Structure 1
């Protein structure tokens, strides 16, 4: 939880305001932290539906990676550990202010996979290897190009993207 609370406190500088912002954010993401992980399961399923890349999907299927658990940390803490601190603030603000979708973070995850598509497809990775690759991207991702790709994916996905994310809060 400190991954999410610390940036709020640093930006807001008022503990009471940061607390209430954190409480509202946790309420929005409540299902992600439920014992049955219902929110995360729904997000990972939506991510799977948003990845419109048959060869990459087939690769993940052959490697028994269709659970998309390799992206779990990305979604649980909204990419907090994947980018530099100032980029995380920009990312969160962009996600929270995005008018086209409340699920921009999912499109960002698709953008990361698309950006690293060649590496994934040419590697002989099992689930653990793919998880290590995803964790190893921390600090090496460039936010601006990924956001551009994610926003383009939102437009490209259109109604199909809205349907893929319809069950999410």
Structure 2
């Protein structure tokens, strides 16, 4: 039963002293006064040790409704299992949870159906994990894309409790990428800064051919850690590299992987003078056709390029 999954395992590993830095946060809504000069003065912040992870997201504690004067119309007859005094859940809470269940059911049925693991039985496990997360984080609720993040974890662990615990930990980093989280604009701004610093020709093309302040073609990359861009078997390697990179290279290695994807097709983008619409269409067509090993190797080289730039400035 989904309601029985409450274990939250700590996934914190021994922190290795970082050799690179956290991406500096630029203001995503304000353009630089001089677009011809890269943010070299900010680049040093790209190689400072990452901050400690935030505490886990607050969970919603379902308590007995004892507010004086609360009308009977706002209360249900569903007895709360967490109340020793026979309290009940509010209708508002039940309606909110029901709406989230509807969203979950729709996405679970569509999630990774072509992958061998997701039989009807394992799709039910996926649903259980997702329902449990939403119940304990009802203030966050379910948003499209969450099933995509749970699915690879379930494939590896094949256990609802462990998968749930790991997903909770993953959402400490990924949660802000979803709508209302605010992280996506920061990713776009940092991506713009990286391209301006490491590939001025590409930056000028993007500057000329569209709204270069928002890198919408990267949206799905950041939201799902490239899960839909790669072959399924490559997702595990890329995810582990992102997690490990926090301790040995950069707390925002996803930015360097994103830039590596762009740089892998640099000649095609430049020769065709692609605008942002062209780039979005191009990468949609290239989904699951990328060489993950080449992309990861190039991402590592880009980190080294930035380190060298900082050391020699």
Q: Helix, strand or coil: the match of 1:2? A: helix
Report the TM-score when normalising by structure 2. Answer: 0.49
Structure 1 residue aligned with 2:159: 14
Report the TM-score when normalising by structure 1. Answer: 0.88
What CA deviation, in whole Å up to 9, does each residue of 1:77-134 have, x standing for no partner?
A: 0100111111000000011012111211110111111111111011143322211012
Query: In the aligned structure 2, how far is the partner of 1:160 from the partner of 1:75?
Result: 25
Q: Helix, strand or coil: the match of 1:29? A: helix
Deviation at 1:65, TM superposition (A): 3.8
Structure 2 residue aligned with 1:25: 170
Query: For the Cα contact (< 8 Å) 2:231–2:289, is it kept in 1?
Result: no
List alignment gaps of at least 5 residues for structure 2. Answer: 1-145
Superposition RMSD in Å: 1.6
What CA deviation, in whole Å up to 9, does each residue of 1:1-45 have, x standing for no partner?
A: 11110000110111011011111111212211142x510111111
Structure 1 residue aligned with 2:238: 91
Q: Helix, strand or coil: the match of 2:167? A: helix
Q: State yes or no: 1:46 paired with 2:186.
A: no
Q: Helix, strand or coil: the match of 2:229? A: coil
Aligned residues: 160
Query: In the aligned structure 2, how far is the partner of 1:58 from the partner of 1:107?
Result: 19
Query: For the Cα contact (< 8 Å) 1:71–1:134, is it kept in 2?
Result: no
Q: Which has the higher helix share?
A: 1
Structure 2 residue aligned with 1:167: none
Query: In the aligned structure 2, how far is the partner of 1:153 from the partner of 1:126?
Result: 23
Of 248, 257, 261, the residue aligned with 1:108 is 257
Deviation at 1:160, TM superposition (A): 7.0
Query: For the Cα contact (< 8 Å) 2:217–2:280, is it kept in 1?
Result: yes
Q: State yes or no: 1:56 paired with 2:56.
A: no
Q: Helix, strand or coil: the match of 1:101? A: coil
Deviation at 1:159, TM superposition (A): 8.2
- In structure 2, do the counterparts of structure 1 residues 125 and 152 end up closer, same or farther at CA, with 3 Å as the change threshold? closer
- In structure 2, do the counterparts of structure 1 residues 124 and 2 end up closer, same or farther at CA, with 3 Å as the change threshold? same
Query: For the Cα contact (< 8 Å) 1:44–1:68, is it kept in 2?
Result: yes
Tell which deviates more after alignment, 123-132 or 144-153.
123-132
- In structure 2, do the counterparts of structure 1 residues 124 and 152 end up closer, same or farther at CA, with 3 Å as the change threshold? closer
Q: Helix, strand or coil: the match of 2:283? A: helix
Q: Helix, strand or coil: the match of 1:140? A: coil
Query: In the aligned structure 2, how far is the partner of 1:14 from the partner of 1:145?
Result: 32
Query: For the Cα contact (< 8 Å) 2:154–2:160, is it kept in 1?
Result: yes
Query: In the aligned structure 2, how far is the partner of 1:101 from the partner of 1:83?
Result: 21
